[in-house]
Structure 1
Amino acid sequence: MKDERAWAVLLLALAAFVPVVAPMLDSPATVALATRIAIYAIAASSLNLLLGGGGLVSFGHAAYYGLGGYVVGILYAHYVSGEAFLGVIPGSNDLLVTLPLAILVGGLGALVIGALSLRTSGVQFIMITLAFAQMLFFLFVSLKAYGGDDGLAIRRVAPVFGLNLRDPATLYWISLGLLAAWLFLMDRVSRSRFGRVLAGIRQGERRMAAIGVRTYPYKLVAFVIAGMGAAMAGALMVNQARFVSPDMMHWTKSGELMVMVILGGLGTLVGPALGAAALVTLEYTLSGLTEHWQFILGPILVLVVLFARGGLMGAVRRIAGMRGRAPDALPAGELPAGRVQPGDRAAPDLPLREGAAPHG
C-alpha cells in the first residue's frame, strides 16, 4: 500500500495547482469541474469500501448521497420559512451546520438499511439495497413541500469562516481538503485489523466464520462508514450545484458511482478518484461535442474495462514500471502475507470469539 499512498499524495499535490492553472487557461469552468471531480471521488471511494473492501455489491449507495443532499436542502427551506424542521431543528444555510448533520443522517440511514440488507447475500442483497434506494427516491418525489420531482433550489449560502462559498475556489479547497481527509481515513482503515477482516470477508466469509470471526458487525460498521462518506459528498454537491432533487437517489446514480470504482480500480486507494476524474471529464468533454455523447462514452468505458487490467490504477502502475501488486488487487483466492491463510493455526491479528476453535 506504500505505492498507493505515494500516488494519493501526488494526486492531491497536482490537484492543489488547479486554482493556479485555471486562470492561465482562461477557463472559468475548470475549477468547478475539478470540484465536481473531488466530490464524486469521495462518493466513489466510500462505495469502494464496500465493493472493493468487503465484496459487498450495494446498488443503493446513492440513497446516502441523496440523503446528504436533502439535509442541506431541507434545512435551507426551513431557514427561508423561519419554521423549525419537525418543530425542533432550526433551519440553516451554514455549511458548518448542514455538513455534520448530513454525515450523521447518512450514517443513520446506512445503519438502518444495512442492519436489514446485510442479513442477506448475493442477488438478494443487491436487490434489497436497490429497493431501499428506490423507496427513498419515490418518497422524496412525493414530498411536494420540498419541491417533489422538480427539486429544490438553494439560493443563499452562509460564508464559511468569512469565505464566500459562491467563489468556486473556496468550495474547491473545502472539497479537496475533505477528499484528502477521506483518503487518509480509507488508508488507515485498510491497514487496520478492521480492514484485514473486511478483506478476509471478501475473500471468503465462511472461512472467516470458521475461525470464529463474527462478520456481521464488521460489515455493518463498513456500511455505516460508507454511508457517511456518500452523504458528505451529497451535501458538498448540493452546495456546488445550488440544487437538490430526487435524481440524486436514483439507481442510475448508484450505477454511475459503481462505474467510477470499477473504471479506476476496484479495491485500490486512489482508483475511485481516478475513475471519478475520468468519467466526469469524459462526460463534460463529450457532452460539449454532441447531444448523443452517451453512445461515444459507452464504448470507451468498455474498452478501458476490457484492456486495462486493474482499472486505470493498474494501467498507471504498469506505465510507471511498478511491478509490485497491491494487497487488494490480488487474484481471488489469494491473501497477502499477514492475513488469514487457509490452514493457519492461529490468527493473532483477528479477533476470535471466546471458545471458537482455530481454523486448521
Structure 2
Amino acid sequence: MSAVDAIAETPAVATPLPKRRPIIALALFALLALLPLAVALGLPAHWLTLVTRALIFAIAALSLDLILGIGGLVSFGHAVFIGIGAYVTGIMITEGQAEALLILPVIAVASGLFAAVTGAVSLRTRGVAFIMITLAFGQMGFFLAQALSAYGGDDGLTLYQRSTVAGFDLFANRTGFYYIVLGALAGCYWLVGTIVASRFGRVLRAARENPTRVTVTGYDVGRVRLIAYVISGVIAGLSGFFLANHTEFVSPAFMSWQRSGELIFMVVLGGVGSLHGAIIGALAFLFAEDVLASYTEHWKAIFGPLIVLFVLFTRGGIVGILGKLRGGRDD
C-alpha cells in the first residue's frame, strides 16, 4: 500500500465523540480571538500577521479535509482553488472593482465551475490515478496564471489596494482584518461540520469505506463526491481571496503543486478527518516554518524530514496525540 493510499484509508477521527467537538472548537476559537489582546499586552506584533496567514491556510486545509479526511479523496491539486480566488481578487481590484461583495460571488462561481468540470473528470478515477489527474489540473491552472502577461505573468501581480466591504475599507486595519478572517474560518468550520453531520456527510463517509455497498443502497456515489468536491473548491477559493488581500500580491506560486502538498501536510499534521485538526495543523505548520526560517535559509531541508518522521511515527496527528494524553480519543 502506498503512502497516499494509507492517508486516504486512515480512519477519520471525526466520528466517535461528536459532543466534544463544540467544546474543543469553542476553546480554540476563543484562544485565537484573544491573540490581538495578547499582542497589545506585549506579544511580538508579527505574531498577528503570522497567525492571520495561518488562519487563511486553515480555511483551505479545512476545505481539503472535507474531501480527504471525510471523503477519502487525496487531491494533489487543491491549491489551484486558492489561486483562482487570489487571481479573481487581483484582477478585479486591478480593473477598478475592489468591492468584496462583488468579488466573492465571482470567486464562488469560478471556483465552483472549475471544480465541477475537473471533478467530473477526476472522480472517474481512484487512488493514484485520481492524485495524478488532480495534479495535472492544478498544474494547468499554474501555467495558465504564468501566461497571464497582462496581470504580471510569472512575476506575479502587485495590488495597490485591498478589497472594500460595502464601501468601507475594513481590511486596512490589521486587527480588523484578523477578526474578519477568524470569523470566516469559524463560519467555514460550522458549514463543513454541518455537512459532515448531515445525511449527505454520512453518505460521503460511507462511500469512503465501501462505495459499492452505498451504490447498492440507491445513492449516487459519484454525484455525492462531486458535490463535496465543488463545495471544497469554493471554500478554498475563499482562502485565496483573503490571501490576496493579506499579501497584497498574487502569484502563480499560490497554486503550485508544492502548495497543494503543504495543504495535505497540514491536514495530516493536525489529524486526518478532524475538522479542528485541520486548523491546528495549519497553525503548527506555519509556526514551525516561521521558527525554522528564523534560524537558517535552508529550513526546508530540516522541515521535510521532520514532517516525514512525524507522519511515520504518529497516528492521528496532533489531535491523536492530544487524545492519547487525555487517555481517550478526540473528535
In the superposition, the TM-score normalised over structure 2's length comes to: 0.91
Separation in 2 of the partners of 1:4 and 1:299?
Answer: 31
Equivalent pairs counted in the alignment come to 313
Determine the structure 1 residue equivalent to 2:245: 239
2:69 aligned with 1:63: no
Residue 282 of structure 2: aligned partner: 276
Which one of 34, 54, 70 corresponds to residue 53 of structure 1? Answer: 70
AA in 1 matched with 2:238: M
Is the 2:320–2:330 Cα contact (8 Å) retained in structure 1? no
Aligned equivalent of 1:77, options 75, 94, 99: 94
**What is the TM-score with the length of structure 1 in the denominator?**
0.84
Residues 52 and 266, structure 1, Cα contact 8 Å, conserved in 2: yes
Aligned counterpart for 1:108 among listed residues 113, 121, 124: 113
Provide the residue aligned with 1:298 in structure 2.
304
Q: Is the 8 A contact 1:76 1:93 kept in 2?
A: yes
Extract unaligned runs of 5+ from structure 2.
1-17
Q: Which residue of 2 aligns with 1:191?
A: 197
Among the aligned pairs, what percent are the same residue?
A: 44
* 2:166 aligned with 1:149: no
Note the alpha carbon deviations across 1:205-229, whole angstroms, 9 max, x for none.
1221222221011000000000001
Is the contact made by 2:319 and 2:330 (CA closer than 8 Å) also made in structure 1?
no
Given that 1:63 and 1:133 are in contact with CA atoms closer than 8 Å, whether structure 2 keeps it comes out as: yes
* Paired amino acid for 2:31: L
Q: Distance in 2 between matches of 1:5 and 1:16?
A: 16
Deviation at 1:237, TM superposition (A): 0.4
The Cα of 1:198 is off from its aligned counterpart by 0.7
**1:265 and 2:282 are equivalent in the alignment:** no
- Structure-2 separation of matches of 1:9 and 1:122: 35
Report the secondary structure of 2:296's partner residue.
coil
Cα offset for 1:319? 2.0
Q: Which moved more, 1:219-228 or 1:295-304?
A: 295-304
Shifted more, 284-293 versus 220-229: the winner is 284-293
Amino acid at match of 1:307: F
Superposed CA offset, 1:41-75 (max 9, x none): 11001001111111111111111110000000111
Task: Give the alignment of 1:168-207 within 5 angstroms.
Answer: 168-207=174-213
Instruction: Give the Å deviation of 1:97.
Output: 2.2
Residues 291-337 of structure 1: CA distance to partner in whole angstroms, max 9, x if unpaired? 1111221232223223332000111222233x2464xxxxxxxxxxx
The 3-state SS of whatever aligns with 2:218 is coil
Measure, in 1, the Cα distance between the counterparts of 2:170 and 2:234: 25
Work out whether residues 94 and 157 of structure 1, in 8 Å CA contact, stay in contact via their aligned partners in 2.
no
Name the residue aligned to 1:29: 46
> Using CA pairs below 8 Å that are at least 6 residues apart, which structure has the higher relative contact order?
2
Gap change, CA 1:100 and 1:19, over 3 Å in 2: farther
| 2:322–2:330 CA contact under 8 A, matched in 1 | no
* SS state at 1:25 partner: coil
CA distance in 1, matches of 2:173, 2:69: 35
Determine the C-alpha separation between the residues in 2 that align with 1:26 and 1:281. 15
C-alpha contact (below 8 Å) 1:8/1:269 kept by paired residues: no
Q: Is 1:3 matched up with 2:8?
A: no
- Cα pair 1:264 1:272 within 8 Å, conserved: yes
Root mean square deviation of aligned Cα: 1.4
Contact 2:270–2:318 (Cα < 8 Å) also in 1:
yes
From 190, 202, 217, the counterpart of 1:211: 217
Letter in 2 for 1:24: L
The structure number with the bigger radius of gyration is: 1
